[in-house]
Amino acid sequence: MNKHENKKYCSSDEIWCTQRKELIKSVLETKKASDLEKQSTDIAQQYLSETIQFSIDDFIKNIKRKVKSRGSRPPAKRKNTHKGT
């Protein structure tokens, strides 16, 4: 803003004008910090979501692999080691 534009928003009291500018600056900085915090939270949630999904997919894949390997071979026959008298 140039000096002419400042006159529209500022009263004749320069202290009030300065305080108003500082307040606006503070609000904008707080909003920016809040936006950054939200953005970092969103990134962390996305990372956790992907990690959990990968773990679940990996777990399911392992279960399927175990079930498939068990189903492809016949069950082992036990020898009768206990002989009756």
More confident of the two residues 40 and 67: 40
Specify the pLDDT at position 32. 94
Specify the pLDDT at position 14. 75
pLDDT in tens, 7-16: 555 556 677 7
Q: Tell me the pTM.
A: 0.45
More confident of the two residues 22 and 72: 22
pLDDT in tens, 22-46: 999 999 999 999 999 999 999 999 9
Distance CA 85, CA 83 (A): 7
Backbone angles phi, psi at 67, to 5 degrees: -65, -45
Q: Which two tokens stand for residue 2?
A: 């140039």
For residue 18, how many C-alpha atoms fall within 13 Å in the half-sphere facing its CB? 3
CA–chain centroid gap for 30, Å, is 22
| Mean pLDDT on 70-81 | 65
Angle at 39 between CA 35 and CA 45, to 5 degrees: 145
> Taking the domains of the chain in order of start, what are their residue ranges?
3-70
